[in-house]
Structure 1
């Protein structure tokens, strides 16, 4: 274990509070993404290595060989960091939940938005794309999302959104190699009726290649380790880094659990057998119910490394 300091019941738009064939989609075919150059501000180090900085919640910077991806940006701070429907309370499913401010318990770590090549969106619920991020991110920032979330983001004024359906790929050239991203279905609930309300989401399987270096990463998005999702991920082969969304959101509410808890993450680990696990989507906001120590306890004795990093810290996968 490595520990580093450093007939829908309601309308989805109302609930969110918002006004397979496999194909290779090269970045060459994407007008703006095609010209998303490897960042000149990248490290001067000659060693090519995958680096991840966790910024809290589901927000990360994933950097490799001059390309940086921002994930699910939530930048709000303070007691009212995110104002969103509260999934952790009981409510009338026909009417929907009440809006409730969700606090961020710490500060938003410092980072340079100017180094970001593109933003990956698992889904656009307010804790995954909040009002602060909406205000700070340029409207022409390249983004990758589901078709449904493209419509939500376009309504907010974002103009450079590429849809990546489940099973399809996109390739980003790097300084000396490439990053291949494949969209994977993310099931936000194990209850089919609740899943209709919450809408579709993406997970992403990523391959980082440059010279002799190769790493694979599976970022789950808000999903559960259900058979069809796990089977599609297993088809990719060995996983070096698993990044699961934890937190046990919704376990006290009318929707039921809508993000994994420790038991679910362990089921996923047992099925996928990744080399390393980097849990995110925990601890940052009041929204998250299950403390991360429960996952530490549940992973005791497992062969996979559990990498716990503080918000703002970086981890390298060599």
Structure 2
């Protein structure tokens, strides 16, 4: 398996002989307004794509955890070929079809797709009223012959649903959306440094890759601060905090 962080939550996976684009946000730097009710007014995305958008437009599959615009933006909707296969959470298939995509399949629990087995997981995009207002979010676990099991947690804090997914699927690789995204009031809606540490402690068999940092104006946890915390906790050797555009490769244990 090879995985490349593009920017924010956008990933490019070479997995099971397929190329998978996850949560594409393809807008140029500063194309979109700040997230409302947040502590600064910087326009989003904060940084440019590290590769030309054209390089990302021919995946075998697009995997979308939810439709917030930092995971699926107008640029991605407008530029990806409409016949590209798309897997998403229940409830998101209809809006994607309305955007013209003709091969959209919601994943209720688990689905097989061209040699891949893909299970959907749950999460919590924050707590209390804010978490409820953020709407449903999903993650996905990928398995393929000869590949490590990969858990893409999506936009969630560390919670019972994440713990259950780690226990049930025993992933060799776990991708978490960090950044500690927060509004002016309320608790964070993506993982903080504490949450990333909790994932590592819960699943000592998994290699944790932390993304979703330094690209959106309300994500306040920096890579430098997260790396420092992971080093302090003795977790640096089994975690990665990649830069935009960075490739990672994992052989790991093959899927069951």
TM-score normalized by the length of structure 2: 0.87
> Does structure 2 retain, via aligned residues, the 8 Å contact 1:76–1:104?
no
Provide the rounded CA distance (Å) in 1 between the counterparts of 2:165 and 2:250: 24
Q: Kindly state the Cα deviation for residue 107 of structure 1 after the two structures are TM-superposed.
A: 3.5
Q: Kindly state the Cα deviation for residue 114 of structure 1 after the two structures are TM-superposed.
A: 4.9
Tell me whether 1:170 sits opposite 2:111 in the alignment. Answer: yes
- The equivalent position to 1:311 in structure 2, one of 232, 238, 244, is 244
Q: Secondary structure at the match of 1:244?
A: strand
| Further displaced range: 50-59 or 156-165 | 156-165
- The equivalent position to 2:65 in structure 1, one of 88, 113, 122, is 122
Q: Kindly state the Cα deviation for residue 179 of structure 1 after the two structures are TM-superposed.
A: 2.2
Q: Kindly state the Cα deviation for residue 304 of structure 1 after the two structures are TM-superposed.
A: 5.3
* Offset from partner CA, 1:215-250 (integer Å, 9 cap, x none): 11111101122123312331123x211110001111
Provide the rounded CA distance (Å) in 2 between the counterparts of 1:260 and 1:313: 21
> Does structure 1 retain, via aligned residues, the 8 Å contact 2:157–2:192?
no
- The equivalent position to 2:133 in structure 1, one of 197, 207, 213, is 197
Q: Kindly state the Cα deviation for residue 141 of structure 1 after the two structures are TM-superposed.
A: 1.7
- The equivalent position to 1:290 in structure 2, one of 221, 228, 244, is 221
Q: Kindly state the Cα deviation for residue 288 of structure 1 after the two structures are TM-superposed.
A: 1.9
TM-score normalized by the length of structure 1: 0.71
Alignment correspondent of 1:101: 43
Q: Secondary structure at the match of 2:169?
A: coil
Aligned pair count?
248
Alignment correspondent of 2:163: 230
Runs of 5+ consecutive residues of structure 2 not aligned to the other structure: 252-256
Q: Kindly state the Cα deviation for residue 150 of structure 1 after the two structures are TM-superposed.
A: 1.8
- The equivalent position to 1:244 in structure 2, one of 176, 180, 184, is 176
| Further displaced range: 148-157 or 259-268 | 148-157
* Offset from partner CA, 1:30-76 (integer Å, 9 cap, x none): xxxxxxxxxxxxxxxxxxxx011111110011112421110000011
Q: Which has the larger radius of gyration?
A: 1
Q: Kindly state the Cα deviation for residue 142 of structure 1 after the two structures are TM-superposed.
A: 1.2
Q: Alpha carbons of 1:84 and 1:142: their partners in 2 closer, same or farther (altered >3 Å)?
A: farther
Tell me whether 1:186 sits opposite 2:137 in the alignment. Answer: no
Question: What is the root-mean-square deviation in Å for CA atoms of aligned residues?
Answer: 2.3
Q: Secondary structure at the match of 1:68?
A: strand
> Does structure 1 retain, via aligned residues, the 8 Å contact 2:7–2:49?
no
